[in-house]
Amino acid sequence: MKVLKFGGTSVGSSENIKKIVEIISKNDSDTTQFIVVSAFATVTNLLIDAAQLASIKNSSYTTVLQKIKDIHLTIINELTSTRDQKNLNAHIENKFEELKQVLQSISLIHDLSAKSEANILSYGELLSSYIIVEILNQHGIDAVRKDSRELIVTNNTYTNASVDFERTNKKIRSFSKVNKAKVVVLPGFIASSSDGDTTVLGRGGSDFTASIVAAALNASVLEIWTDVSGMYTANPKLVSQAIPIEEISYEEAMELSHFGAKVIYPPTIHPVLKKEIPILIKNTLKPDEKGTLITKTSKGKSNPVKGISHIENVTLITLEGSGMVGIPGFSKRLFEILAAEKINVKLITQASSEHSICIGIDDSNADKAKAAIDTVFEFEIIRDKIKPLDVEKHLSIIAIVGEQMKSHQGISGRMFSTLGKNNVNIRAIAQGASEKNISAVIATKDVKKALNSLHESFFKENYKQLNLFITGVGNVGEKLIDQIRSQEKFLRDKLKINLRIIGLSNSKKMVFNETGIPLKFWKINLNNGQNASLHGFLENAKTLNLRNSIFVDITANRKVADMYKEYLKNSIAVVACNKIACSSDFDKYHELKELSLEYNAPFLFETNVGAGLPVIDTLNNLIASGDNVINIQAVLSGSLNFIFNNFTVGTNFHDIVKQAQHEGYTEPDPRIDLSGVDVARKILILARESGEKMNLDDIRNDSFLTKNNHDAVTVDDFYRSLIDDADHFNKLLASANKNKCQLKYVAEFSNGKAKVGLKEIPEGHPFYNLKGKDNIVMFYTNRYPEQPMIIKGAGAGADVTASGLFADVIKIASN
């Protein structure tokens, strides 16, 4: 004997009902099948709407009623022959006439009692079961219908009734004894009180009906047929990487469903658990998929975390006060009143100081609970022994579940650090003593992010998703997008990283796409975007609230750099090639570093020095491993190096600078390079990263420009002044040539002091042969006192800068 339950979506359309016919027909014809069906999809919700509208005398309940009727008539029309429709339609007409009268009387008395509500709700399953039996018969399956109200006896908590198992089991067994049919269809969800009134078993209760029948009859299996291929590692509608769990224990499944995995109604497991009847969850639309097997012990893979689930609409009530310490009976009084008010408590935490108790309940019970608790503790509240209740509504609980968690250390640590890294604020934590679940109360807006980041963290086969918000799509930005596009597949296949650009902005426009901007069309998307705004960009990143969000600044704009603070405070990592933030006032730089630590949001700026060369990373590694910087000597300007390498006898300084700008080696305003400010900023950043509290003003800048050059107001003026002062530059070149030296613009840091300036470098010096736009950095440290550690290579150019930014982004993924 088997029990099969088909949920609302499985009986929601003609196509799905056809699948049910196939599933039932394929089963061994000798095995008796009890088929429990839900109301057709959406019908229960519509019945509730109709009842509530009628109770407030809103006549539109008739429109809702018509909609419910249409749902049924459509299925009858599509699945039955015209000959058989006559009887069926007459029955349906009858039932809807009945229902109409019930609703009319509710409208008249202007009141909806629980008893009437249960009666109205029962029509959903009564109708669906009636129609399905007819359809099965017409498809040659010899099925009979049995009204569950004649089998399942409950108390009279009409809409959430408790089952009297003794009487129920007897009734089911005696029915089974007399039953001859191989297929029996039962309406799920509905039952009756001992007075004979209709009751229902709570929302989602058809699963429970099936379990009650399976347990009473010692079925070989309880099959729950639904719209997903099993119980997933997380709700597949919210976590795209969730996968079906092949095998899970009763206890684990119970925990997951208790914490919101709606695929199975929580009370369902209990009756079959005692009899050790396996539960199989299957997908009606994809019957060949394996589904989930729920048994006494879960085998499955070794992952101690089996699944993650969540419940919304949670209210947290905190009872706090010094008057509670050490006095027994406080909790008793609290839980007694909650029980008396029939308020189900979903989560409890108590501080070990006994100074506070915190409970999580359904939002719908919040006001009732507050009033009741206020009354019970009135005496203590008036005397200040207990603070007025703290009631916080509209929260959510997320829980990780697994029986093996107790034998693994560090699970809760990982859970909370994952949430912390993603800026998910935790309002309360509870861990069952059995350690089968760890749950936390969080803001509902953070649920999707929390589920996804926990899933990524606990299910290693998952991709890590990085969500980029890029501002500045000039040369470098464009190259970065190209590189991301061409590496997409490699990152996914080899590094299990799913890199998506969610937001993109230039100075005029910005565009967002929660599922990732299609990289092939980013330009068109951006051009058709909304008007750009720095705050708007931030607000979008905040509102989308995605895990592993990274803000990438590819501008040279001060206002953009001023926004980093806000990103970091929202735990959004910052990757910048813009040097302004790290080279501005020390306190600002320091504040960003601190915020990065405080909010667990990386702040990376490798490309600030030497473009794609790993200069800052190497320096950080030296220092982190206990080394100490003694001296840094460096040529840090790709542009100045390019200029002085190409400035030879017979050329003209002005033309070379123009060429450097044309080829993209200088900043848009070449004075930033030629004045030495850019190099000063870079050595400043290296000095700071070496541990020095230094500002730009502290750096000696021996400029090689003339006063005339410095006085130029515009870029054009500056270029003209280079022509006017050509002699000055020719002299610098002549002197170097005479001394058999090369001109290099050198930055130095030593003994807490830094300077930048043009130097004549003699042959044999590591800087002498520096070619093109190359950079070189020599670190003299305690570990490298004589022979410095040298990093050398292209230090400018869109491609290498983009790859440096890319490396910073990937570094965040691997953290």
* 124 or 610: CB nearest ligand ASP: 124
One character per residue 153-192, x = contact with ligand ASP (rule: CB under 6 A): -----------------------------------xx---
CA pair distance 594, 576, nearest whole angstrom: 17
One character per residue 297-326, x = contact with ligand ADP (rule: CB under 6 A): ----------x-x-----------------
* 436 or 682: CB nearest ligand ADP: 436
Using CB under 6 A, which of 131, 234, 343, 563 touches ligand ADP?
Answer: 234
* 55 or 128: CB nearest ligand ASP: 128
394 binds ligand ASP (CB under 6 A): no
As a whole number of Å, the end-to-end CA separation of the chain is 53
Q: At what angle do helices 411-421 and 447-458 cross, to 10 degrees?
A: 130
The distance of closest approach from Cβ of residue 467 to ligand ADP in the complex, given in angstroms and rounded to an integer, is 23
128 binds ligand ADP (CB under 6 A): no
* 8 or 260: CB nearest ligand ASP: 8
Using CB under 6 A, which of 124, 187, 271, 638 touches ligand ASP?
Answer: 124
Cα–Cα distance list, 693 to 446, 595, 759, 780 (Å): 38, 17, 26, 19
Amino acid identity of 593? K
DSSP E strands, 637-786? 700-702, 741-750, 753-762, 774-781
Binding partner at 583 among ligand ASP, Mg ion, ligand ADP, none, C-beta below 5 to 8 Å by kind = none
12 binds ligand ASP (CB under 6 A): no
* 204 or 360: CB nearest ligand ADP: 204
* 227 or 774: CB nearest Mg ion: 227
- Sole window of 38-46, 354-362, 495-503, 704-712 interacting with ligand ASP (rule: CB under 6 A): 38-46
Q: Is 403 helix (H, G, I), strand (E, B) or coil?
A: helix
Laid out side by side, the sheet with 279-283 consists of: 143-145, 183-187, 33-37, 2-6, 221-226, 279-283, 292-295, 247-249
Backbone angles phi, psi at 754, to 5 degrees: -135, 145
Residues 17-76 touching ligand ADP, rule: CB under 6 A, are 38
Q: Give every CB contact of residue 151 below 8 A, 6+ residues apart in sequence.
A: 168, 171, 172, 175, 186, 191, 213
* 198 or 709: CB nearest ligand ASP: 198
Residues that bind Mg ion (CB under 5 A): 7, 204
CA pair distance 179, 181, nearest whole angstrom: 6
593 binds ligand ASP (CB under 6 A): no
Q: Is 205 helix (H, G, I), strand (E, B) or coil?
A: coil
10 binds ligand ADP (CB under 6 A): yes
* 37 or 317: CB nearest ligand ASP: 37
Q: Give every CB contact of residue 399 below 8 A, 6+ residues apart in sequence.
A: 255, 256, 259, 260, 308, 309, 310, 437, 438, 439, 440
204 binds ligand ASP (CB under 6 A): yes
Inter-residue contact 199 to 192 (CB < 8 Å): yes
User: CA angle at residue 17 from 16 to 22, to 5 degrees?
Assistant: 95
Residues in contact with ligand ASP, total (CB under 6 A)? 13
The distance of closest approach from Cβ of residue 2 to ligand ASP in the complex, given in angstroms and rounded to an integer, is 19
* 124 or 612: CB nearest ligand ADP: 124
Binding partner at 110 among ligand ASP, ligand ADP, Mg ion, none, C-beta below 5 to 8 Å by kind = none
262 binds ligand ASP (CB under 6 A): no
- Long-range CB contact pairs, 781-784, < 8 A, 24+: 781/622, 781/627, 781/628, 781/629, 781/630, 782/627, 782/628, 782/630, 783/622, 783/627, 784/627
Using CB under 6 A, which of 67, 115, 203, 593 touches ligand ASP?
Answer: 203
The distance of closest approach from Cβ of residue 242 to ligand ADP in the complex, given in angstroms and rounded to an integer, is 7
- Sole window of 55-63, 225-233, 366-374, 771-779 interacting with ligand ADP (rule: CB under 6 A): 225-233
Strand-pairing partners, residue 758, are: 745
* 123 or 208: CB nearest Mg ion: 208
Strand-pairing partners, residue 316, are: 360, 392
206 binds ligand ASP (CB under 6 A): yes
Binding partner at 44 among Mg ion, ligand ASP, ligand ADP, none, C-beta below 5 to 8 Å by kind = ligand ASP
Binding partner at 309 among Mg ion, ligand ASP, ligand ADP, none, C-beta below 5 to 8 Å by kind = ligand ADP
CA pair distance 790, 470, nearest whole angstrom: 32
> Nearest to residue 578, comparing CAs of 553, 606, 602?
553
Pairing type for strands 549-553 and 530-531 reads unpaired
Binding partner at 286 among Mg ion, ligand ADP, ligand ASP, none, C-beta below 5 to 8 Å by kind = none
205 binds ligand ASP (CB under 6 A): yes
The distance of closest approach from Cβ of residue 207 to ligand ASP in the complex, given in angstroms and rounded to an integer, is 6
Inter-residue contact 305 to 40 (CB < 8 Å): no
- Sole window of 66-74, 150-158, 197-205, 687-695 interacting with ligand ASP (rule: CB under 6 A): 197-205
State both tokens at 119. Answer: 């009666």
Question: Helices then strands (H, E): number in the chain?
Answer: 30, 30
CA pair distance 118, 154, nearest whole angstrom: 13
| Catalytic entry in 421, 682, 744, 792 | 682
8 binds ligand ADP (CB under 6 A): yes
CA pair distance 128, 136, nearest whole angstrom: 12
* 203 or 408: CB nearest ligand ASP: 203
Q: Is 576 helix (H, G, I), strand (E, B) or coil?
A: strand
775 binds ligand ASP (CB under 6 A): no
Residues 178-217 touching ligand ADP, rule: CB under 6 A, are 204
Look up 682 and say whether it is catalytic: yes
Binding partner at 214 among ligand ASP, Mg ion, ligand ADP, none, C-beta below 5 to 8 Å by kind = none
> Nearest to residue 381, comparing CAs of 317, 316, 324?
324
Binding partner at 584 among ligand ASP, Mg ion, ligand ADP, none, C-beta below 5 to 8 Å by kind = none
What is the DSSP secondary structure assignment for residue 388, as one 8-state letter?
P
Q: How many other C-beta atoms are found inside a 10 Å radius of the C-beta of residue 30?
A: 6
Residues 247-266 touching ligand ADP, rule: CB under 6 A, are 261-263
CA pair distance 157, 68, nearest whole angstrom: 26
Inter-residue contact 762 to 595 (CB < 8 Å): no
Interacting residues toward ligand ASP by CB under 6 A = 7-8, 38-39, 44, 124, 188-189, 203-207
Interacting residues toward ligand ADP by CB under 6 A = 7-10, 38, 204, 226-228, 231-232, 234-237, 261-263, 307, 309
Enumerate the active-site residues.
Answer: 682
